[in-house]
Amino acid sequence: MSKVLVVDDEKLIVKGIKFSLEQDGMDVECAYDGEEALAMAQKCEYDVVLLDIMLPKMDGFEVCKAIREFSNMPIIMLTAKGGDMDKILGLEYGADDYITKPFNILEVKARIRAMFRRSKRMTKETSGEIARGGLRMDLDSRRVFIEDREVNLTAKEFDLLELLVNNPNKVYSREQLLSLVWGYEYPGDVRTVDVHVRRLREKIEDNPKDPKYVNTKWGVGYYFKAQ
């Protein structure tokens, strides 16, 4: 059974989400402030965390950043309508995705199920090791090394890199990457991919502005340069 942590200080919203997800057979736990959410995440590895930004004690950004210090569990941020900077900041702090409030519960469930499907498929289909020009990916433990130095990636950063590494020199558009890595048709906003690529480069490239591994095909998309 998939385990979900829902974090929001609006108890009616939490109650509605919990009821709906449990109807789909998920095991749902709830937190109503940032400190409580962080404590629960430290004790349990959730399959996904649904995390509101505006929280008492610690805001969602602080919680997301703190979780990323010890876990790559998938995090979906809940952002206010029109809060474009909040969306970008959430991704910068390590969130895998975001949903704008007010939201349709069907969209929330679709996003969560897409993450589950992607995670299960990756676990089932991939094993062993990939090595490309100083970069090594251990697919079983989901660890990445650059010249024997371990690099800590989030779940989506790992999935994105794995797809590109497995298909060297193949250029993927942002829309294709959203579909293949995030697992659903995204409603037009490709900044999610751009932020993840930039964060990935900051972690694996000696010079992110002149990347060795993850390159840009201007006007088209991104690709992994065969070494």
Of the candidates 170, 169, 156, the one whose C-alpha atom is nearest the C-alpha of residue 200 is: 156
Backbone φ and ψ of 6, nearest 5°: -105, 125
Q: Where are the alpha helices (DSSP H) in the chain?
A: 11-23, 34-43, 60-67, 84-92, 105-125, 155-166, 174-177, 191-204
pLDDT digits (tens, 9 = 90+) for 13-41: 999 999 999 999 999 999 999 999 999 99
User: Mapping DSSP to helix (H, G, I), strand (E, B) and coil, where does residue 37 land?
Assistant: helix
For the entire predicted model, the pTM comes to 0.74
Angle at 135 between CA 133 and CA 141, to 5 degrees: 145
Amino acid at 45: E
**Residue 159 backbone phi and psi in degrees, to 5:** -60, -40
Question: Tell me: the pLDDT tens digits for 184-222?
Answer: 655 557 788 899 999 999 999 999 999 999 999 998 999
Instruction: Write out pLDDT tens, residues 97-128.
Output: 888 888 889 888 888 887 776 665 554 455 67
Mind listing the domains of the chain with CATH numbers? Answer: 3-120 (3.40.50.2300), 126-224 (1.10.10.10)
| Cβ atoms of 46 and 1 closer than 8 Å | no
Helices 11-23 & 105-125, crossing angle to 10 degrees? 50
76, containing H or E segment: strand 75-80
Determine contact, residues 96/160, Cβ cutoff 8 Å.
no
**Cα–Cα dist 34/26, whole Å:** 22
Instruction: Name the residue among 119, 217, 200, 214 with its Cα closest to residue 165.
Output: 214
Residue appearing with tokens 């990457």: 177
